Structure 1
Amino acid sequence: MTTRTRAPRGVSRTAVLTAAARAAEHERPDRLFADPFAGELVEAAGGVADLSGVCGLAGEHFVLRTRFFDDVLLRATALGCAQVVLVAVGLDARAHRLPWPGGTTVFEVDLPELIDFKDAVLASAVPACHRVVVPADLRGRWPDALLAAGFDPRRSTAWLVEGVLMFLRPDEAAGLLDRIGLLSAPGSRLAVEHVNGAFRRLPQMREVHRQFSKLDAEWYSHVDDPDTWLTGHGWVPEVADESALAAASGRPAPGITDPRRVGDARIWLVDAQMSRSD
């Protein structure tokens, strides 16, 4: 299909990688999740031929990450988080494809041009929740835009920060978590992904960094101790074991995250709850 809206460019191109992995998973008879929208988004974005090497390296991780965060968000909403905020949402179609409880509002925060692109492609798709788009740059005053869009900081919220922190500088990543904390009522949850320094330095990642640099999508940060880091920002984290996630799903551990192949290198997948209760 074609769309008059400009396809993702620059760092936004990385969102097409995840969508491509989700589209491929949707076609499997033993799929871990359904995403009937991902293929349409990838096609409209012009495919991923320019980043095919990254897809082959990280596709299995993207699939497990997607299922893990799907489960985290659905648990959080079942437990009473009636608001969900997808930070740097990219081409994520969770607002359309997940079975949200009645009354759930999903806020999608990302750059205006990326949101416009996705809205143009999915113009005929009906969300499975009350979906609210929030065009904003994470380096700007996005909390003001979120509040103006109807977000209520007095209500518990499930936050998702997926595939973005490594592209932020350490002070920007810390500032993002600080702002999320200030907007989070007791009972809120935070689902977050980051990497450690050993992962950034993997020989397998050199080509990824080279391809990303062409998109002005350099990795600027990592976290070696996610427990201490998130605790310092007011959250009680639980770090998932991706090899265990793979085994529970009947899949082999992704090569890029399998400790037998990458040693101490880690991609952190975390489900955290707000530490304060009043």
Structure 2
Amino acid sequence: MTRNDNDSWDIKTSVGATALFVAAARGLAARQPQALAVDEFAEVFCRAAGDEWAELFTADPERTKQHPLRSADFGSLFQAFQAGRTRYFDDYLRSATEAGVRQVVILAAGLDSRAYRLPWADGTVIYELDRQPVLEFKRAVLDDAGATTTAERHEVAVDLRDDWATALRDNGFDPSLPTAWLVEGLVIYLTPADQGQLFDTLNALSAPGSWLGIEEMATIDSDVFSAMTTPSADPHSYDRGEGARWAGLIYNDRKTQAVQSFTPQGWTGAAIGLVDYLRSHGRTVPGGGAAVGHFDPSLMSLATLRKPTSANARP
């Protein structure tokens, strides 16, 4: 499968299905001793989705040992990746809240459960943007589980390729207030033009004192990318074709990284490579951080940027 400008999805198809794969990795990583990050709702989503997602948590592990997320190479590495970025952005949002930010926007929210599991300060309002089927699935599952939010949560059902800024404002977003933006697992699925428009909109909607947390991936070598998008003929391949389907959802064109894009607008901040981040937390990166199949952690980076207050703005 390859991307096109008008494709669509729900929680079990296309881009939406990646949310379940990621949730499963987060859930399995949370079961590890001394877990770097624990998302207690990741397993809840997988159980509700049924099929192979539920089996990963409900069946005898021997029955699911062929699942790519249980493999000693790719599975271990991908779980470590998900634990790392979950911890990074959990800490990012805690820091923004401690700095006084009370308005949070999560783009392409998918199965993000931070509105339910992080200890938000009084008065925090969270806006979650995604397609309606994805938001409906998440709400139904968490309602059935008896989960309650720890902040005021607003769902904004919109495709981010449409006029999401207007939809966000229509749901109560106040562009005059500092905002903590979370852009996790999104920009790899955008064209360079769409990413540029996204960055312009984020800057325009960000009052002084706003924060931005973003995950990015460097451009993949063209020959490697071509191989990635070709499913393996080996029925015992580590990914059983999922890796090739995932790669086909990516827009692999060269894009400007967030730090380079936002710094000329007065923002300050820095990015850290995923592998370096994991090692900074004393974690041994499976395989030394080398690529496994269709996943190369050395290409992934995590960044935090801040838009200074007027008093601290650059001359």
Counting aligned pairs with the same residue, the percent is: 33
Q: TM-score, normalised by structure 1?
A: 0.85
The answer to whether residue 68 in structure 2 is matched with residue 52 in structure 1 is yes
> CA shift at 1:195, angstroms?
0.9
Q: CA deviation at 1:156?
A: 0.3
Question: Alpha carbons of 1:93 and 1:244: their partners in 2 closer, same or farther (altered >3 Å)?
Answer: same
Deviation at 1:93, TM superposition (A): 0.5
Q: Structure 1's 177 and 28: CA in aligned 2 closer, same or farther, altered over 3 A?
A: same
Counterpart Cα distance in 2 of 1:258 and 1:234: 35
**Cα displacement (A) at 1:18:** 1.8
Q: Tell me if the contact between 1:88 and 1:164 (Cα under 8 Å) persists in the aligned partners.
A: yes
Q: Give the partner amino acid of 2:249.
A: A
For structure 1, list consecutive stretches of 5 or more residues without a partner in the other structure.
1-5
Shift in alpha-carbon separation, 1:268–1:204, aligned structure 2, 3 A: farther
- The answer to whether the Cα contact below 8 Å between 2:175 and 2:207 also exists between their aligned partners in 1 is yes
Of 9, 13, 31, the residue aligned with 2:35 is: 31
Describe how 1:173-188 pairs up with structure 2 within 5 A: 173-188=195-210
Across the aligned residues of Structure 1 and Structure 2, the Cα RMSD in angstroms comes to 3.1
Unaligned runs of 5+ in 2: 1-9, 54-63, 232-240
CA distance in 2, matches of 1:223, 1:265: 17
Give matches, 1:137-152, under 5 Å: 137-152=159-174
**Which amino acid in the other structure matches residue 158 of structure 1?**
A
Please show how residues 244-263 of structure 1 align to structure 2 within 5 Å: 244-253=276-285, 255=287, 257=289
Match of 1:155 in 2: 177
Q: State the partner residue of 2:301.
A: 268
Q: In the alignment, what sits opposite 2:98?
A: 78
Deviation larger for 202-211 or 34-43: 202-211
Residue 113 (1) aligns with residue 133 (2): yes
Cα separation, 2, equivalents of 1:76 and 1:148: 24
Native 8 Å contact 1:202 1:265 kept in 2? no
Q: Secondary structure at the match of 1:8?
A: coil
The alpha carbon displacement at 1:56 in A equals 5.0
Equivalent-residue separation in structure 2 for 1:16 and 1:208 (angstroms): 22
Which deviates more, 119-128 or 203-212? Answer: 203-212
Cα distance in 2 between the residues matched to 1:256 and 1:41: 31
Aligned partners of 1:83 and 1:158 also within 8 Å: yes
| Change in CA separation of 1:141 and 1:40 when aligned onto 2, cut-off 3 Å | same
8 Å contact kept, 1:166–1:221: no
Mean Cα deviation higher: 30-39 or 180-189: 30-39
- Give the aligned partner of residue 9 of structure 1: 13
Residues 1:263 and 1:152: Cα distance change in structure 2 (over 3 Å): closer
CA change 1:89–1:234 in 2 (3 A) is farther
Asked if residue 40 in structure 1 is aligned to residue 50 in structure 2, the reply is no
Offset of 1:128 from its aligned partner?
1.2
| TM-score of the pair, normalised by structure 2 | 0.76
Cα distance in structure 1, aligned partners of 2:108 and 2:298? 24
* Change in CA separation of 1:213 and 1:203 when aligned onto 2, cut-off 3 Å: closer
Question: Are 1:192 and 1:269, in contact at CA under 8 Å, matched by a contact in 2?
Answer: yes
- When the two structures are aligned, how many residues end up with a matched partner? 271
1:196 paired residue number? 218
Answer with 45-54 or 263-272: which moved more: 45-54
Instruction: Name the counterpart of 1:130.
Output: 152
Q: Deviations over 1:91-147 (max 9, x none)?
A: 011111111111111111001110001011111210111111111110001111111
Equivalent position to 1:91, from 111, 124, 131? 111
- Opposite residue 34 of structure 1, the aligned amino acid is V
Shift of 1:227: 3.0
Structure 2 match to 1:101:
121
* CA deviation string 1:228-250 (max 9, x = no partner): 23324553231124334223323
Counterpart of 2:263 in structure 1 is 231
